[in-house]
């Protein structure tokens, strides 16, 4: 309401004419009904919902009347929210809801032209437009949040149950392997199954990380970049297979902080650096992490992660951004999608660039806080 410039004082412009619109509610409901009854996709929904003749017209007339009761209280906003939730329950495509508001606007404009004095028409039209914008925003927000929450709860439930079963399977295979002689061919089969089980478990964990990040609203803070990178490297060096990799860091002192959600950005660098460590050339295991602040791009910091992996083809770089695609045995294919999601939510960007004859670099751009 604040962004729309809509408040009780603004609504006072409508007060002298509220009864004109309220008296038109049955006429509006009839027009609204026949408009959507003429569309095959919405006619199916109408005929399924209307258990008694005129029930939907009564509901729509009531909605139109509520618009001009001129109360922007919690009860009214809750009423709008429930409509958005109801649209999810009846599987109404949000595009039809948007179309409905267009019909409402046209009807109101017709009333304004025919019933409102010419000197008041412009301000009445302006306030009604804001009021309808508010209704659309609240209902759309409810629709999106309800749809997203339902989808995420299902996916999260599936992920948790799969992970539990994978852990049970992996544990049982390990017990069987311990009872098997290392020279027995079955031992190698068990080893392969354990590897696959671990890969599935890691994939489920990464999917859960992606979903949690997707649902969480970012809280931008001043994050010290060098400290963050140092902490991430310490976490990764616990893994023995990374201990032989040479890592250099070089940070631009002109921009020591980035403006981002701390947990999002830590997840971003963890997955990007882990990917670089896993892909590095075994004969020349080298990574360099650097940052640079260009005055020509105020408000942005560029961070580069270079490693000595064989340069990828451009078409492969595009695939790496897709969930489940991985060039590594046992990879979940979610490292870069998690990183890209973190950047999208924190107004950053990411690109992969081959360095001819040397390796590949990841270039990240993030906002920096104002001084």
What whole-number percentage of the chain has pLDDT above 90? 35
Structure tokens at 124: 């009445």
State whether 334 and 249 are in the same domain.
Answer: yes
pLDDT at residue 370, as a whole number: 81
State whether 283 and 299 are in the same domain.
Answer: yes
pLDDT at residue 318, as a whole number: 60
State whether 196 and 267 are in the same domain.
Answer: no
- The set of residues, in sequence order, having a beta carbon less than 8 Å from that of 1 and lying 6+ positions away, is 7, 72, 134
Does residue 205 surpass a pLDDT of 70? yes
Task: Read off the CATH number of the domain in which 345 is found.
Answer: 3.30.565.10
State whether 44 and 158 are in the same domain.
Answer: yes
Does residue 100 surpass a pLDDT of 70? yes
Query: 213-250: per-residue pLDDT in tens?
Result: 777 788 889 999 999 999 998 888 756 666 778 889 99
Give the confidence band of 342 by pLDDT, cuts at 50, 70, 90.
confident
CB contact burial 2-37 (16+ within 10 A = b; e otherwise): eeeebeeebbeebeebeebbeebbeebbebbbebbe
Domain end, chosen from 215, 230, 259, is at 215
Q: 335-345 vs 262-279: helix axis angle to the nearest 10?
A: 150
State whether 99 and 151 are in the same domain.
Answer: yes
Rounded Cα gap, residues 65 and 68, in angstroms: 6
pLDDT at residue 328, as a whole number: 57
Give the residue-averaged pLDDT of 111-125: 95
Compute the CA torsion angle 56, 58, 62, 65 (nearest 10 deg): 120
- For the chain, how many structural domains are there in total? 2
Q: What is the mean pLDDT of the chain?
A: 85
Structure tokens at 300: 């942005």
State whether 71 and 174 are in the same domain.
Answer: yes
- What is the residue range of 346's domain? 221-367
Least confident range of 63-77, 201-215, 255-269: 201-215
Task: Read off the CATH number of the domain in which 173 is found.
Answer: 1.10.490.10
- The set of residues, in sequence order, having a beta carbon less than 8 Å from that of 235 and lying 6+ positions away, is 270
State whether 172 and 258 are in the same domain.
Answer: no
State whether 309 and 259 are in the same domain.
Answer: yes
Give the confidence band of 211 by pLDDT, cuts at 50, 70, 90.
confident
Name, of 40-49, 54-63, 187-196, the range with top average pLDDT. 54-63
Query: 126-142: per-residue pLDDT in tens?
Result: 999 999 999 999 999 88
pLDDT at residue 196, as a whole number: 81
- The pTM score is 0.56
State whether 136 and 114 are in the same domain.
Answer: yes
State whether 229 and 210 are in the same domain.
Answer: no
Compute the CA torsion angle 353, 357, 359, 361 (nearest 10 deg): -30
Domain end, chosen from 146, 181, 215, is at 215
State whether 270 and 320 are in the same domain.
Answer: yes
Does residue 17 surpass a pLDDT of 60? yes
State whether 181 and 266 are in the same domain.
Answer: no
Domain end, chosen from 171, 189, 215, is at 215
């Amino acid at each position: 309401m604040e962004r729309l410039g809509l408040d009780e004082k603004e609504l006072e412009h409508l007060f002298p004419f509220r009864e004109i619109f309220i008296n038109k509610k049955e006429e509006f409901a009839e027009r609204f009904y026949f408009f959507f009854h003429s569309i095959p996709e919405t006619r199916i929904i109408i005929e399924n919902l209307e258990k008694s003749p005129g029930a939907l017209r009564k509901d729509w007339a009531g909605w139109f009347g509520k618009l001009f009761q001129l109360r922007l209280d919690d009860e009214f906003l809750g009423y709008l929210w429930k409509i958005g939730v109801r649209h999810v329950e009846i599987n109404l495509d949000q595009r039809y809801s948007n179309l409905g508001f267009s019909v409402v606007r046209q009807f109101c404009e017709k009333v304004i032209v025919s019933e409102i004095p010419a000197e008041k028409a412009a301000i009445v039209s302006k306030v009604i437009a804001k009021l309808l914008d508010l209704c659309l925003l609240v209902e759309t927000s409810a629709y999106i949040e309800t749809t997203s929450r339902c989808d995420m709860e299902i996916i999260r439930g599936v992920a948790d149950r799969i992970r539990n079963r994978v852990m049970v399977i992996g544990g049982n295979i390990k017990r069987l392997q311990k009872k098997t002689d290392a020279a027995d061919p079955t031992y190698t089969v068990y080893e392969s199954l354990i590897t696959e089980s671990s890969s599935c478990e890691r994939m489920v964990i990464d999917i859960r990380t992606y979903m949690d990040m997707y649902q969480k609203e970012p809280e931008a803070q001043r994050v010290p970049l060098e400290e963050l990178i140092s902490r991430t490297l310490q976490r990764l060096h616990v893994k023995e297979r990374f201990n032989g990799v040479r890592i250099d860091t070089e940070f631009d002192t002109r921009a020591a902080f980035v403006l981002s959600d701390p947990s999002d950005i830590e997840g971003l660098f963890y997955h990007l650096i882990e990917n670089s460590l896993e892909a590095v050339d075994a004969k020349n295991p080298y990574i360099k992490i650097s940052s640079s602040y260009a005055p020509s791009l105020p408000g942005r910091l560029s961070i580069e992660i270079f490693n000595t992996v064989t340069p990828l083809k451009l078409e492969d770089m595009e695939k790496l951004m897709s969930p489940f695609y991985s060039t590594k045995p046992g990879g979940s294919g979610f490292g870069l999608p998690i990183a890209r999601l973190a950047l999208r939510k924190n107004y950053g960007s990411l690109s992969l660039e081959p360095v001819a004859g040397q390796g590949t670099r990841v270039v990240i751009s993030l906002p920096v806080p104002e001084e």
